[in-house]
A and B are shown apart, each in its own frame.
Chain A
Amino acid sequence: MKILVVDDFSTMRRIVKNLLRDLGFTNTIEADDGKTALPKLQAGGIDFLVTDWNMPGMTGLDLLKAVRADPKLANMPVLMVTAEAKREQIIMAAQAGVNGYIIKPFTAATLKEKIDKIFERIDG
């Protein structure tokens, strides 16, 4: 399982990567916004995308839309981890096809729960 972690703050990427490692996901790569993430996704081999929303260049929402619009990537599970907490935005992300939505600050237990839920659905 190869996971791409996208966030413009390197501290947050490190936190997410460490938490994923604790959960048994050791194969992770990073990108600092949608623009740098998309080519990595298109290059193939990535199974799961964890992305922030508010990033310069290309936001996580635009990245999500680009993923859903690409036939090769359309079915990729996407978990959004963001400080954006307005109801309107959560609905927007849901409509764009996000698989899970976590608001910052979050806990390790929340991350585990959402990831478990996403994979339960995929496996089920």
Chain B
Amino acid sequence: MNNDIYLDIAKKLVTALEQNDAAASDQLLDELAELHQSQLFKEVGRLTRQLHDTMVNFAEDSKISAIAEHDIPDAKERLKYVITMTEQAANQTLTVVETLVPISEELTIHAKQLAEKWERFLGREMPYDEFKALSGELSQHFKASTDGLSVIQSGLTEILMAQGFQDITGQIIRKVIDVVQDLEESMVGLIRLTGAKKSPAHAVDKIDLPGPIVPGIDDKLGDVANSQDDVDDLLSSLGF
């Protein structure tokens, strides 16, 4: 573009040097430097403008403000709910275990005592009166075992159900991971603007389903079923 000007000055410079004309060659060198600098300033100016425009566009397009204003507080609430759910499940499980352990201990002790007596009976070492008492104790033990085992059975089912928290909290945490991923992509965009040549991470396929209802966040619009009864009512209104 400016090659002709450079070439012209360069030719004159060669001539001046061949003629040992120091004054002329100095002046020509100054001209060259000046020309070069003005090109440099133009280039810097262009880059500055480009950076400015990009920054403005980025601020307009950026999801960062939406993430900061909405998604992050939302994610915090979701994580708090995860704490609540895991705490509930742990307490529920511990309570059941604390109820069941004494029942199981008592039945074990009784069974052991009765087994010893029964051995004595089998060895014909037991007087009739004591056997009569033993048969009463055995009846009692059978009843206590049946009752105790049924409590243990339902306690075990309760412990089993308490593990459902893992699925629910897992789904909620996945949503928070999506927010973190969005944030990461926006940050990568920002870093790219500063010159680092890294391509943005690929977004995972978004699942559009709302997922578990977090109380206070997802039920604001009143368009959710808050209990199984709500579901049943809705379905029966549809003819189910």
Residues of chain A at the chain B interface (Cβ within 8 Å): 7, 9, 11-12, 14-15, 18-19, 22, 53-54, 56, 59, 83-91, 94, 101-108, 110
Contact B234 A83 (CB under 8 A): no
Contact A85 B213 (CB under 8 A): yes
Given A88-B223, A104-B212: A19 and B165 interface contact (C-beta under 8 Å): no
Question: Whose C-beta in chain A lies nearest to the C-beta of B226?
Answer: A85
Contact B240 A84 (CB under 8 A): no
Docked Cα-Cα span, A85 to B210, in Å, equals 8
List of A residues within 8 angstroms of B160 by Cβ: 15, 18-19, 108
Closest approach, in angstroms, between the C-beta of A103 and any C-beta of chain B? 6
Contact A83 B224 (CB under 8 A): no
Docked Cα-Cα span, A48 to B224, in Å, equals 27
Q: What are 25 A-B pairs at a CB distance below 8 A? A: A7-B167, A9-B167, A9-B170, A15-B161, A18-B160, A19-B157, A19-B160, A56-B207, A83-B212, A83-B213, A85-B213, A86-B210, A87-B223, A87-B225, A89-B209, A90-B225, A90-B234, A91-B238, A94-B235, A101-B231, A102-B231, A103-B228, A103-B231, A105-B161, A108-B160
Given A54-B207, A85-B224: A11 and B167 interface contact (C-beta under 8 Å): yes
List of A residues within 8 angstroms of B165 by Cβ: 105
* B200 part of interface (Cβ distance < 8 Å): no
Contact A102 B228 (CB under 8 A): yes
Choose from B163, B167, B225, B235 the contact partner of A85 (Cβ within 8 Å). B225
Docked Cα-Cα span, A7 to B223, in Å, equals 25
Contact A22 B157 (CB under 8 A): yes
Residues of chain B at the chain A interface (Cβ within 8 Å): 157, 160-161, 163-168, 170-171, 205, 207, 209-213, 223-228, 231, 234-235, 238, 240
List of A residues within 8 angstroms of B212 by Cβ: 83, 85, 104
Choose from A53, A56, A87 the contact partner of B224 (Cβ within 8 Å). A87
Choose from B209, B228, B240 the contact partner of A54 (Cβ within 8 Å). B209
Contact A12 B164 (CB under 8 A): yes
Contact A101 B235 (CB under 8 A): yes
Question: Whose C-beta in chain B lies nearest to the C-beta of A99?
Answer: B240
Docked Cα-Cα span, A83 to B205, in Å, equals 20
Question: Whose C-beta in chain A lies nearest to the C-beta of B171?
Answer: A83
Question: Whose C-beta in chain B lies nearest to the C-beta of A61?
Answer: B209
List of A residues within 8 angstroms of B238 by Cβ: 91, 94
